Structure formats: structure tokens, C-alpha cells
Structure 1
């Protein structure tokens, strides 16, 4: 009688131990993992089911909270890809706007040069009457060259300031893009401030372009005054050739400077894109490594549970033999 009661107590203890370890299935099948937290075990009660042999097994209900981390990771990846697309679209739009502005400025300069050549051709017949002011003309030509060189240096300085401001704004946007939580109100406020700064820079650029147009108009007026003073020049062919060579050199230098600036701008944009792609790849690699570590931890816990179950079974068998 006592041995039968001991046998029943051993069977009941075995059932309770197996019920506590129930749920340790193979992780490759997508089955629920074992619940080691007592609070989670209390929130998801056990269910009893009978089997044809007359025994009772305990099963734990499937908890979908195991899939939540994966969904969160997918949402974060989708947000990162969306923000990356917006960032690339913003940089592409800025590049297109800058190229269109440079093309407009180049067209204006070319139109002004053509107008100057047309006026010089119209005034060529009047330049053949004067011989006595060659020294004065040379001084005026040297002054014109110095004025054009000064205007080119001023334009280069203004464009360098604009480039520095654009680089600062792009660095600001890159720092904002590297942050983890893009839905934070503080980040949104910083993005709005950066966009406002971009609009201010564009307004300053328009003001500088208008100032350059004013400078070119002043140069055109000066050339008109000079052409009126050159009516008394005898050696008009030599003077015209010198002016043409100087203008051609200035136009070539300005074109070369614009090409160099465009190349530097494209190079910096390409470097920024490559850095952004490398950051995205590093983030994906870190997420992959985190998933692999989680799988290893699950496999480790499953092996520990299987070892405990085997130990319990061995203890039960030993008790039966002892009985």
C-alpha cells in the first residue's frame, strides 16, 4: 500500500516537472519557445488535455509575443529605407537646382558676351578715326582687366562661402539621419531648422546672383563708356584683338572654374551617398548578428531544458527501480 502511494506521488511529480518544461520545441519549426519567466507563466495558464491511454498532458497556449521583436525590426528597417530614399531625393533635387542655376548664369554670361561683341562690331567703323589716345586706351584696358579679375575673385569667394554653407547644412542633415529615433519631436524640430537654413541660403544665393548681375551691368556700362572714348583711336584692330583675347581668356577661366566647382560638388554628393549606403549596410549587418545571437541563445536554452528533462526522466527511472 505504501509503495503504491509512493509510485503515485512519483508519477504526479513527474507530470508536474514535465508540465513546467512543456513548450521546449525545435526552434526551426516555428513552435513556441519555453517560458522561463514566472510572470509570463502566470499570465498564460496551462491547459489540460487527455490522451487515449488515459493520461493527462499539460500544454501551454501559444504566445504571439515571441514574434514582436521581428515585427519591430521590420518596421525599423522600413522606416530606415524610407528615410534613406527621402534623403537621396532631397540631395538629388538640390543638385538639379544648383545645375539649373549654374546653367542660367552661364547663359546670361554668354548672352552678355555676344551683346558686347555685337556692340564692338557696330563700333568698329567709328574706332578708325582716332590716333592720339593709345596710351590712355592701354591704361583703360589694364584697368578693365584688373576689374574683371577682381570680379572673378569676388565671384569665387562668394561661391566658396555658398559651398561652405551647403556642406555645413549637409553635415547637419547627415548627423540627423544617423540618429535612431526619427519620430522624436526634437529631431523633427532640428530638421525644420535645417530646411529653414537651406531656404535662407537659397535666398542669399539669389541676392548674390542679383549682385553679380549688377556687377556685370556695371562692366557693360563701363565698356560702353570705353567704346565711346575709343572713337578717337587709330589702331582699332590691335585694340580689338587685345580685348577679344582678354575676354576669351576670362570666359575660359570662368568656364574652367565652374566646371571644377561642379566636379567638386558631384564628388562630395557621391561621397555622402556612399557613406549613407555603408551606414545602412552596417546597420543591417548588426541586425543580422543580433538575430543570430538570439537564435544561439534559444538553442542553448532548449538544450538546457532537454538536459533537465533527461535528468528528470533518469531520476524517475531510478526511483522506479528503487521501488
Structure 2
């Protein structure tokens, strides 16, 4: 079931996706909300200003005669990361002049409203960006119209932006914002999604003795030796004790070089087998760590080998 969120709040230290509702009852009476499915797991509803039509060029509306448009997009970056990147300096690199930024409380929901200015082919346009988001991605609704447009048009466009509501289905957002995905997970299911990781568990088992975690991140400084990074993940973590590396070998995952490491460890005081894949490029790493009781070593390795055939970098 898709859940519609009506407030911006903190829950389990995660920012929930804002759902902004219009403050204009008049707007609601004239037009019905148009629903856009902008990605798997996210639907956005917006009321078009009078005289605007749905456009095929993007999610949103346009009015050709006034050179105005409203565009809805998802940015695959958590709100806490995306908003700080929208500095005056970064916006100027894209020829956007930030003139105002404010927090808008709409029906109890907080959104960020930014006003910008841009010269396009000799004509100055004003832009409104309404931004909401959560720990997986951000929703940006952008309005653009000539700076000299009449006040009635500007207000109608702003009212349209403030009619925004967002519905999310978290189970369909497993790979949102991640640089990787699985096209299939034979013998496994994606049990949980964290900010930068997914957890896979066997389909037929209910205990936690066998699991696979795939995550990505960045290193604080460049790493010259991928084995050094792999050893760090195996030996410096809090979970694995008495690590005995069995084999290191270079492999390819989705045509990208990676180091496959197998090892025996003690996990919760039980002899276990670890299958680890480490890939590293330009201070960014991908890490797959699978663990199972030691006696399941051969079968487990074969299952992950098959799983990796369905791994894709985006």
C-alpha cells in the first residue's frame, strides 16, 4: 500500500518525505490534482494552474504562450546531502543566481522554497524550487517563467507548487540513491535497506546465521592497494574475530575489477565462513560481505557466485 505523508518529521533519526498541501482552497476547487509516478515507489500529486497543460517533455505542466513551465523531478540524493549542495557558489556555476531561500510551513509540513534568477537567450527568467525529501532521495518541483510576467501568473504558479503532495512505497525504493542494483536475487530476498546498504537473507531460512550485506561509501584518503582496503574491512570491524584469510583473487563484477577474499572467522563465538568482494575506484568503494556457518562454505560460495551474475552498476 502506498503511504501518503502529510508532515515533515523525524522518525528513527530519518527525515520523512515532505508532503506539502496547498494553502489555496480556490485552487483545489478549480482543478483536480494530477498524479505523476516519477519513479518506482514515488507518486507526486500537483494541481496545475489554470491554462497550463500536461507536457510530454517532463513530469509537470507548461503554458506555451507565457513561456512558463512546472517540472517535477527526483534527485537520487538524501535531502540532508542535497540541500547543503545548493550554495550560491554551486548554483552560479550553472548560471543560476539565488535571490532567496526560506522554509515554508504548508499545512504543518516544512519544505524549502528557493527563488532564483537566470538569463536564457537574453531574457531573464525567475525560478521557484520547492524541495522536500528523506534519507533516500529528494523531490524538486521547479517553476520557471519570465521575470516580467504579471503578478497573477506568478501567484498561480506558486499556488500550484504549494499543492504538492508525495506518496511513497518504501519496498519499491530499495535501490534509490545507490550506485548498484540486482536484476534478480536467486535464493535470496532483499530484507532491509539502510542509507547506503542493502541486506539479503536466504529465502528458505529464518535465522540470521547466513546473510549478505552490500554497501558503498568513500574513503577518507586515496587507497593505493585494494588488498589493504579489503583487509581493513575484514580485520578492523567489530564483528569478525580470529580472521584467517583463505584466498585473495581478482575478479570482475559487471565488468569492473574487484578483489574476492574468502576467510574463516569467529562470529558470535561460532566458526564462520566469509565471502567478501571489494571494488574501489576514485576514492569510492563497493563492499559485499557474506557470512555463513563454516560447514556451509561450498554451497554458500556457489550461491553468491550465481547472485553476482545479476549485479549491475548503474
TM-score normalised to structure 2 length? 0.23
Question: Bigger relative contact order, structure 1 or 2, given CA contacts below 8 A and separation 6+?
Answer: 1
User: Higher helix proportion, which one?
Assistant: 1
User: Higher strand proportion, which one?
Assistant: 2
TM-score normalised to structure 1 length? 0.22
